[in-house]
Amino acid sequence: MNWRDNIELTYDKNINLLLTHGALGDMISSLPAAMWARRSHSLDLLITVWVPKHAVDLVGHLIGGTGIRIKPLDEFSLRSTDPDDAGPGVMNGVKGNYVTRNRFDMVDYAFATMLDMQPDFIDQRNYPHWAPLGEKPLDEPYVVIPVGATNEPSMFHPEIMAPIIEWLVANGYKPVLTGKSTTSVVMLDKGKPIPLEIKDEVAGLPQDIRGECLDLRDKTTLLEMRDWCGHAAAVVGIDGGTLHLAGTTEVPIVYGCTRVSPRHRSITRNNERNWNLVHVEPRELECSGCQSNWNLLFQHDFSKCMYKDSACTHKLHPEDFILAMQNLGL
């Protein structure tokens, strides 16, 4: 922002930021870069952020305002007749996926792909956690537990969940299960579009434990889910989009990591990396964090375990999640 005579020199009237990597965590961790783009340029330059249609209301609530437009990706067209759409575009990913989020902090990755820079100061990394919440959806104390996953290495298994739920109930917290059974996100596999599938293992929980839970699966919009997260005593889960959605509030977060290292899954709020957040990792497993630590495996999809047993999801310990919650004040 070193403008001579307070005049910014620009070539374009609009810049399009296309969040084509639209899975919830990818999208939310790209918002700090979009916010910095807006803050670091004069209002003579319009910023248009294109997001999946189902996320327009959420992103508009989080970062919308003067000089920044939020529009649905499915309306983006190189033949648009809207003169405000004219201008160059950049994506929050790299064509061909030859540089991925596998071994990058997700915010750093978005800064690199969209702005050709890395954050210089901690405030540039902040998730938009200050947008107001709606009314508290449940009067009693509760904890949100995201249960869905698009891959086996991110699955929250019943033997891990059950003791956590029992501890919550014993300590006066209502367990709230959240997730979706479908997603509009499509990934590419060898150039072919493959819709992601979401599954969970809630059915494997003992019936008496399930009976203690409030089941909100498939019952909320993204904005409603943000309210549930923001008013909760904590959000507790394994690496996934809902934990990043929780990062747009000030709720305490227990962030389970399996195939990825905590160093690549930070959430910055209030100018502090991992503010009000504790990571949990597998114990006594040499391959833990494989996605963060292995390279030169160009043909490998880290959503599939190379050892074919996803041991990382079974080497998580419920008592580590419980200790994390206690350390966060529960």
Give yes or no: residues 189 and 284 share one domain. yes
CATH number of 67's domain:
3.30.499
68-77 burial, b at 16+ Cβ within 10 Å, e below that, comes to: bbbbebeeee
Domain end point (choices 125, 151, 179): 125
Convert the pLDDT of each residue in 122-148 to its tens digit. 999 999 999 999 999 999 999 999 998
Predicted confidence at residue 146, as pLDDT, reads 97
In terms of residue numbers, what domain contains 221? 142-327
Q: Give pLDDT tens digits along the chain (330 positions).
A: 677 888 888 878 999 999 998 799 999 999 999 999 999 999 999 999 999 999 999 999 999 999 999 999 999 988 888 888 888 999 999 987 778 888 899 999 999 999 999 999 999 999 999 999 999 999 999 999 999 888 888 999 999 999 999 999 999 999 999 998 766 655 555 555 556 678 889 999 999 999 999 999 999 999 999 999 999 999 999 999 999 999 999 999 999 999 999 999 999 999 999 999 999 999 989 999 888 888 888 778 888 888 899 899 999 999 999 999 999 999
pLDDT by residue (tens digit) across 31-79?
999 999 999 999 999 999 999 999 999 999 999 999 999 999 999 988 8
Q: Counting Cβ atoms within 10 Å, is residue 6 exposed (0-12), middle (13-18) or buried (19+)?
A: exposed
Residues 156 and 98 in one domain: no
Query: Domain for residue 132, yes or no?
Result: no
pTM: 0.93
Strands 192-195 and 186-189: antiparallel
Same domain, 49 and 162: no
Work out how many domains the chain is built from and give that number. 2
CA 160 – CA 203 distance, rounded (Å): 14
Question: Are 100 and 150 members of one domain?
Answer: no
Q: Is the same domain home to 28 and 163?
A: no
Both 106 and 163 in one domain: the answer is no
Residues 287 and 230 reside in one and the same domain: yes
